[in-house]
Amino acid sequence: MSLVRQTTNGIYNLILGLAVTVKHLFKHAITLQYPKERWTMPERSRGTVVLLSDTETGKLNCTACLMCEKACPVAAITIEREKNPETKKFEPTSFTIDMGICCYCGLCEKACNFSAIKLTGKYEMSIYDKSELIYDMDFLQKLGRDVKYEKRKRVVKKTAVKKATAKPKTTEARAESGDKKAEGTSSTKDDGDVKEKPKNETEEGKE
């Protein structure tokens, strides 16, 4: 008798499995059609590191205080600085980040008191040539140009850190800025209208 029960049980469960898959066959796909659609990146997104410039003057916010360099766990940041004879303040003469070893930890952003360095939601940074992995100051500044942010107050108490907000543009930052690395992104561009997709309000919502 138990054999019969086992068999019927087995068949029932086999059919149950089939039911699950066929149920999903008629559900909406949750796939992001990448080059055409993109997620709206969350504000805190920790992608490519950029240097922020002052919105009015266009100058880098960085005061070359070297805090980020010290904080970086992988020593990806190298800063050289010089004292500006006029203002008697330090200014970075070269600011490179080795994106080949950066681990996108965000400690540099946390260390900087001048809202000068930030991790953004940019992620389309693939390249053909390894030497381009080392981002120099100009490039970092270029990347940071369209990044919106709020100048951070000198935070005394470290609680409830108000984050600089950033709304990354979804289109190719690099292709737009038309810089040295712009070649070879045609297929990402020519897909026409790029839709922005909010992250799923759980897939159920779409059915």
Where along the sequence are the contacts to ligand SF4 (CB under 6 A)?
A: 49, 62-68, 71-72, 74, 76-77, 79, 97, 102-108, 111-112, 114, 116-117, 119
Residues 53-82 that bind other proteins (CB under 8 A): 66, 69-75, 77
Answer for which of 54, 84, 104, 182 binds other proteins (CB under 8 A) is 104
Tally of CA atoms within 13 A in the half-sphere of 146 that contains its CB: 13
Which of 181, 171, 127 lies closest to 146 in space, CA to CA?
171
Smallest gap from Cβ 155 to ligand SF4, in A, equals 13
Give dist(CA 122, CA 132) in Å, integer: 16
Give every CB contact of residue 95 below 8 A, 6+ residues apart in sequence: 51, 60, 62, 64, 77, 78, 79, 80, 136, 137, 140
Smallest gap from Cβ 75 to other proteins, in A, equals 5
Query: Binders of other proteins: how many residues, by CB under 8 A?
Result: 79
Identify the burial level of 205 via C-beta atoms within 10 angstroms of its C-beta, where 0-12 means exposed, 13-18 middle and 19 or more buried. exposed
Answer for which of 91, 124, 146, 176 binds other proteins (CB under 8 A) is 124
Q: Which does 117 bind (CB under 5 to 8 A by kind): ligand SF4, other proteins, none?
A: ligand SF4
Q: Is the CB of 56 or the CB of 201 nearer to ligand SF4?
A: 56
Q: Which does 155 bind (CB under 5 to 8 A by kind): other proteins, ligand SF4, none?
A: none
**Residue 197 near residue 37 (C-beta atoms within 8 A):** yes
43 binds other proteins (CB under 8 A): yes
Smallest gap from Cβ 65 to other proteins, in A, equals 12
Give dist(CA 166, CA 146) in Å, integer: 9
Smallest gap from Cβ 143 to other proteins, in A, equals 12
Tokens 């992001």 locate to 32
Q: Is the CB of 96 or the CB of 171 nearer to ligand SF4?
A: 96
Smallest gap from Cβ 144 to other proteins, in A, equals 16
**Residue 174 pairs with which residues in a beta bridge?**
none
Which of 165, 168, 143 lies closest to 38 in space, CA to CA?
168
